[in-house]
Chain A
Amino acid sequence: MSSTAKKKGFGATIWDYLTTVDHKKIAILYLLAGTLFFVIGGIEAMLIRIQLAKPDNDFVSAGLFNEIITMHGTTMIFLAAMPLLFAFMNAVVPLQIGARDVAFPFLNSLGFWLFFWGGIFLNLSWFLGGAPDAGWTSYASLSLASAGHGIDFYAVGLQIAGAGTLISGINFIVTIVNMRAPGMTFMRMPLMTWTTFIASALILFAFPPLTIGLFFLIFDRMFGSNFFDHTMGGNTIIWEHLFWIFGHPEVYILVLPAFGIYSEIIPVFARKRLFGYSSMVFATILIGFLGFMVWAHHMFTVGLGATANAIFAIATMAIAVPTGMKVFNWLCTMWGGSIKVTTPMLYALGFIPSFVAGGVTGVMQAAAPVDYQLHDSYFIVAHFHYVIVGGIVLALLAATHFYWPIMFNRMLNETLGKITFVFFFIGFHLTFFIQHFLGLMGMPRRVFTYLPNQGLDTFNLISTVGAFFMAIGVILLVINVIITSIKGQPCGRDPWGDGRTLEWAIPQPIPFYNFKQTPLVRGLDTFWIEKMEGNKEGMSYAEPISDIHMPNNSFIPFVMVIGLFVAGFGALYNQDADKPWSLVALIVGLAITLGAMIVRSLKDDLGYHIHKEDLLNDKGGNE
């Protein structure tokens, strides 16, 4: 990013990215990998919609359809939405709090490679005997009965990717607790940082239950245990509990950073400070807290009893309160502002009604008796796509346009961006709005086809047409990115003109050490304050120019993950009698990982210093 002065060779660039510990480069890696998986998940979505376009369709078989829906859900949640959010969190949060990097740059790299190879592992199942087919929730009663290795790929792949997520979550918490610049008190932190902080706390407490649940599944399928087998005393409901104790907070892990992105975009383009900042922070914390109290609303029909259902129903409805606070705060931020309708702002404007619609259907399902009717129908499919696409994907698209200048020192084309929005937004509502009615009319989710003349034909066709609109939108975005990469001009600092927070105050291209001098934060929206006071540099400084301590690049994270990747195959094929090499792979893989950990522990890694003289000549900025 910062190496505009000297072009590096292709091999050197690859090696640089394989070993980098710089949060800005890791952000780009997350963006690339997340986009790759987003496209894969999107193709799967298109296949689903093509299959359902007309009744009695035989475009894909029933078994393949199950694999496609499973991989679509799993890929989109774990391998697309989360990494893309991590991309923006990595790119922006350290800059927003005035830090030179995250607290553990090494772990940042490790987290990325774990996610990436976990995702690859999962997707290799397509070529190695079939993908998982028990739905993204992989309920044990289905997944234990699933033949082949699909479910094993699911369990091991998610285990590897999940470890990466947990590591990244811890890293962000420590970064935000410890690395804030002087003056950046908690109540001056931008909302993107706040939501990253709370989402990371949710990751910390939500991912261990998933880890354990996946281990139970791995043990049951590969190593002969009996957690979920009722004939041996096991209990299949345990999986459902563990999965949803993870799964529901996961929704908030995704949506809170999305809220953070909107809370950054709206004040910039309404040119007003965020309305009700403290209540925004409070609402974020409250949503995070309540997010752990509601998991059993996914299990209303399991038969936990009226009391349990009532408690979880009320807790679920309660979440609408802090979410409503947020919606009104966004509206009030815009009220009376001088609004500039740019592409990111368009997405933010489109988000509010879309997400509210998803929230309203959520409260409907929170009423347990109604849920008995709606459970496992297309109404549910419509609901969670409204929340996830209308909330998170719109945020990702908005952030792509909004933060592109920070990440690449280029502006995406605004006209093309607005056309993208129109296609995507219309396509999204066309696809999913009508699915509410399909659900109410009784179409169950996860069916691979339906009979003609039951009143489902037209609506399904409309839904499929909408999906193509969304696909066109995404293709337009890719074209936009390609055009910008080839033709784009450096856009310099604060290209939107109304940036309010520290990340916009840094000169472009951002030097790899971020801040030559640690900034002094003098209030909420610190860049705005400096601008209003006529400070051309955009920052006050907390220290004179002095040596900067930087971490060394490292190849060890990559090696550790490759070890786990190999061990994953060993564990997976361990149950096959005809593959005696599997045990060797398991042992060798774990040995590689442990060996890399030991090397990491024994070798002192003190980093290096950029000297004051080099900083003054700005040689540090362009290595």
Chain B
Amino acid sequence: MNLKSKFTPQSWPEHPELSTAEGKNKVVGFWIFLGGETVLFATLFATFLALKNKGPSGMEFTTQNLFELPLAFIMTMLLLTSSLTSVYAMYHMKNYNFKGMQAWLAITVLLGLGFLGLEIYEFTHYVHEGFTFSQSAFGSSFYTLVGTHGLHVVIGLAWIVLLMVRNAGRGLNLYNAPKYFIASLYWHFIDVVWVFIFTVVYLMGVIK
């Protein structure tokens, strides 16, 4: 099957991301990669739990007096919604509706940017209070865990934007459909990791 040939909504396969050998490899490979990423984040979570609230003697920073749930809640909502909009985008991809897909991806990117903005605000706020990366083991583990997630958000956003720009002029085909699909997988993964961060870092953090 020619990768670049044009389709109509009728001739478009039901699973465009899996209808080429390259697509199948990409999807399976990406799921496996996400398995490795899961272990990577598990390691960061474990380290955070071990070093939470640990610092030089007399340190006054604790999760209880540092974290503010309303802000974390808004961030959670932004990211969860962006996951939903990326599902809409994939729905349109499967129906060969290129414009619909691009539009929903654009919304996904905006929501992701909103999340990122709030995270940057949160970090600068903490740094102003004196809670920095080098201030304590707690700071190191917090910024590494949440920052690694933030880095994933940045990469995910750049990836989706690149895909949208690159393919804006040529529409959907079997060459780029798997690329869109795995970018959305990545975005879902980022979202799932954040659910755990919200629970383990913020919710469990503010419990007295």
> Which stretch of B68-76, B129-137, B193-201 is in the interface?
B129-137
Q: Which residues of B contact A219 (CB under 8 A)?
A: 140, 144
* Interface status of A215 (Cβ within 8 A of chain B): yes
- Cα A622 to Cα B134 in complex, Å, equals 60
Q: Indicate whether A238 sits within 8 Å of B50 (C-beta atoms), given known contacts A204-B32, A224-B133.
A: yes
Q: Please tell me if the beta carbons of B28 and A604 are within 8 angstroms of each other in the complex.
A: no
Whether the Cβ atoms of A211 and B40 lie closer than 8 Å is yes
Q: What chain B residues lie within 8 Å of A602 (beta carbons)?
A: 162, 166
Interface residues in A, total, Cβ within 8 A: 41
Once the chains bind, are B137 and A212 in contact (CB under 8 Å)? no
Using a Cβ cutoff of 8 Å, how many contacts connect chains A and B? 109
* Structural contact, B51 and A234, CB atoms closer than 8 A: yes
Q: For the complex formed, measure the closest distance between the CB of B16 and the CB atoms of chain A, giving whole angstroms.
A: 16
Bits for B15-32, please: 1 = Cβ < 8 Å to A, else 0.
000000100110011001
**Interface residue tally on B, bucketed by range:** 35 or more
* CB of B175 closer than 8 Å to a CB of A: yes
Let me know if A604 and B54 touch, CB within 8 A.
no
Q: Which of A216, A232, A234, A242 has the most CB of B within 10 A?
A: A232
Taking the complex as formed, is B120 at the interface, i.e. its CB lies under 8 A from any CB of chain A? no
Q: Annotate B35-67 by CB proximity to A: 1 below 8 A, 0 otherwise.
A: 111011001100100110011100100000000
Residues of chain B within 8 A of A231, CB atoms compared: 56
Residues of B close to A245: CB separation below 8 A = 43
Contacting pair B29 A204 (CB below 8 A): no
Asked if B6 lies at the interface with its beta carbon under 8 angstroms from chain A, I say no
Bound Cα distance from A166 to B33, whole angstroms: 9
CA distance in complex: A606, B28 (Å): 19
Interface centre among A213, A215, A226, A602, by most chain B C-beta atoms within 10 angstroms, is A226
- B138 interfacial contact with A, CB 8 Å: yes
Q: How far is the CA of A103 from the CA of B33 in the complex (A)?
A: 14
| Interchain CA distance A241-B59 in the complex, whole Å | 26
Q: Does A541 contact B (CB under 8 A)?
A: no
Contacts of A444 in B (CB 8 A): none
Contacts of A170 in B (CB 8 A): 29, 32-33, 36
A233 sits at the interface (CB 8 A): yes
Task: Flag whether B141 is at the interface (Cβ < 8 A).
Answer: yes
Interface string of A167-188 (1 = CB under 8 A from B): 0001101100111000000000
- Give the 9 A-B residue pairs with the shortest CB-CB distance, closest first: A233-B54, A233-B137, A225-B140, A224-B134, A208-B40, A234-B137, A233-B55, A208-B39, A103-B25
28 examples of A-B residue contacts, CB within 8 angstroms:
A170-B29, A170-B33, A173-B32, A174-B25, A174-B29, A178-B21, A178-B28, A179-B25, A204-B32, A204-B36, A204-B39, A212-B40, A212-B43, A212-B44, A215-B144, A223-B133, A224-B133, A224-B134, A225-B134, A227-B51, A227-B140, A231-B56, A234-B137, A235-B50, A238-B47, A238-B51, A242-B47, A601-B162
